[in-house]
Amino acid sequence: MLLAASLVAVPGAHADADPASDYLIQQATFIPPDDGIPQAYADQLNATVREAKARGYTIRVALIGSRYDMGGVTILYEKPKQYARFLGQELALIYKKRLLVVMPNGLAVSANGKLAPREQAVVDRIQPPGTDGRTLASTATKAVIRLAADAGVVVPEPPLSSSGRSAPGASDNRDRVIIAAAALGAALVVVLVVLYRRRRATPR
């Protein structure tokens, strides 16, 4: 417990200890690649965060589905409030606004490295997601929408895969169409070349 408190109390002391801090310096979400989060759900969360920002509500989100996602600060795993403070302090030199942490056992919100009581009251009413990747991401999406609404910003929930990527299965069909079109075009070129050569070879 004392070690966890010391981790939280020293801003920047472990700036590279956890992967989320490296990602969230430059982008709005940290979505671990090994937590079984389908791309459609990741896209939906990213689209929600972008739309919230476009409407005036800025937030960054860290999904932590397993102890592995914590890097060198595994002592804070399943302690979302402490980790939200810790991660917020790590980002404070670059980003001082809202930060949402979603862990299997709960959610937490900080701002500039300090817990945000009003926002915390909102996410405390959301069911913990557990370790399922789909639920982890969809819970984060729901939390962003509710937090924005609490601040007076209405953010509609995007349908799955609405952020510019095709839904599962649609991309496969699109690829087949592209391949078929390319094959047809290549065949047409061959036919035209053959006809051209025959025409050149025909005596006049």
The number of folded domains in the chain is 2
- Position with higher pLDDT, 202 vs 20: 20
Predicted pLDDT of residue 7: 39
Indicate whether 182 belongs to any domain.
Answer: yes
Is there a single domain that holds both residue 15 and residue 72?
yes
pLDDT at residue 35, as a whole number = 86
Tell me how far apart the alpha carbons of residues 18 and 71 are, in angstroms, rounded to a whole number. 4
Structure confidence at residue 182 (pLDDT): 41
Range of the domain at 184: 169-204
Structure confidence at residue 168 as a pLDDT band (50, 70, 90): very low
Report pTM.
0.72
pLDDT higher than threshold 60 for residue 158: yes
What average pLDDT does this structure show over 137-152? Answer: 98
Burial zone of 22 (CB within 10 Å; 0-12 exposed, 13-18 middle, 19+ buried): middle
- The predicted-structure confidence for 75-91, as pLDDT tens digits, reads as follows 999 999 999 999 999 99
Residue 68 lies in a domain: yes
